[in-house]
């Protein structure tokens, strides 16, 4: 269990392809269980709302959860209303928000793609839409509409209306594959453009990634050690009723200097704000 927790933390912390794959696999498994156990199409006039709710609402919740667990999001927001707007330009806003949104979108897009490939949600939603009624119910609209409502639930009726059912399944799967292909294409193009516009070379970029990961680990360790020593000093002063000994700790201004998420001048090779502060 501890190893699984460590692997999950590793994937989330490093935000690598392995991490995205793990999140996608976990979301796909959750979607499969959710659709098998929870989802029950009402097979009436509420098909459209019910199917769309299961297709889109969980994806929206996963998007919000992706924002919540993204440390870069909170790094950017914390204190942003009270500090001076040194980096408050529209370009800076986009440089921070776009990567955060991309990372937060992995799980919701996976949910939608897997749900479309599974076709249950789509079939339920489309069987209750007015567009489907116009396409398949040209002669007897009332009786045909009722049959369309019951397609996701009635197996015998599904066999009788096999053409309509296969059509809905095919539509769902085609849209799912198109969505997956579009996501992969956009991701590849975005990665290529960002690398082409980067001021770093390939090896320097790998070094920067390694440095960032190691700096986070060292900072976490040192911050914990510093906090423990400060807590011990203050606790000892309380129980022994003595004056506290001098204890050097970063000032508010120093904390502020290392808390920005600004981009730097390409001529200044700083890999992080702590690197810039130390230099």
Q: How confident is the model over 44-78, as pLDDT tens digits?
A: 888 899 999 999 999 999 999 999 988 888 877 77
* Mean pLDDT, range 177-187, rounded to an integer: 93
Cα–Cα nearest to 31, from 153, 116, 127: 116
**Is 193's pLDDT higher than 70?**
yes
Q: Which pLDDT band holds residue 2 (cuts at 50, 70, 90)?
A: very low
How far apart are the C-alpha atoms of 54 and 46, rounded to whole Å?
Answer: 12
pLDDT, tens digit, for every residue of 202-233? 888 888 888 888 888 998 999 999 999 999 99
**Is 11's pLDDT higher than 60?**
no
At residue 16, the pLDDT reads: 58
At residue 8, the pLDDT reads: 44
pLDDT, tens digit, for every residue of 79-104? 777 655 555 556 667 777 888 888 88
pLDDT, tens digit, for every residue of 17-53? 666 777 778 888 888 887 788 888 888 888 899 999 9
Let me know: does 37 contact 119? Beta carbons within 8 Å: no
Lowest average pLDDT, out of 12-16, 131-135, 234-238, 270-274, goes to 12-16
How far apart are the C-alpha atoms of 76 and 96, rounded to whole Å?
Answer: 8
Q: How far is it between the farthest Cα atoms of the chain?
A: 93
How far apart are the C-alpha atoms of 227 and 247, rounded to whole Å?
Answer: 11
**Is 12's pLDDT higher than 60?**
no
At residue 83, the pLDDT reads: 59
At residue 163, the pLDDT reads: 57
Cα–Cα nearest to 105, from 27, 196, 49, 51: 27
How far apart are the C-alpha atoms of 275 and 256, rounded to whole Å?
Answer: 14
């Amino acid at each position: 269990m501890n190893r699984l927790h460590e692997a999950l933390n590793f994937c989330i912390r490093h935000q690598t392809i392995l991490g995205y794959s793990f999140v996608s696999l976990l979301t796909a498994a959750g979607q499969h269980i959710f659709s098998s156990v929870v989802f029950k199409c009402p097979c009436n006039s509420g098909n459209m709302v019910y199917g769309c709710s299961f297709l889109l609402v969980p994806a929206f919740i996963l998007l919000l959860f992706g924002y919540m667990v993204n440390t870069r999001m909170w790094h950017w927001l914390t204190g942003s209303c009270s500090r001076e707007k040194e980096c408050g330009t529209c370009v800076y806003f986009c440089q921070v928000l776009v990567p955060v949104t991309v990372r937060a979108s992995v799980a919701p897009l996976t949910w939608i793609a897997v749900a479309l490939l599974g076709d249950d949600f789509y079939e339920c939603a489309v069987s209750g839409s007015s567009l489907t009624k116009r396409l398949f119910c040209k002669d007897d609209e009332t009786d045909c509409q009722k049959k369309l409502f019951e397609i996701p639930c009635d197996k015998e009726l599904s066999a009788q209306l096999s053409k309509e059912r296969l059509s809905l399944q095919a539509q769902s799967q085609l849209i799912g594959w198109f969505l997956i292909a579009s996501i992969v294409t956009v991701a590849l193009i975005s990665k290529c453009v960002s690398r082409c516009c980067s001021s770093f070379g390939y090896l320097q970029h790998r070094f920067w990634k390694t440095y960032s990961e190691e700096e986070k680990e060292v900072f976490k360790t040192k911050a914990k050690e510093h906090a423990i020593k400060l807590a011990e000093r203050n606790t000892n002063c309380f129980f022994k009723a003595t004056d506290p000994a001098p204890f050097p700790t970063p000032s508010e201004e120093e904390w502020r200097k290392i808390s920005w998420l600004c981009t730097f001048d390409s001529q200044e090779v700083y890999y992080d704000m702590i690197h810039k502060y130390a230099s």
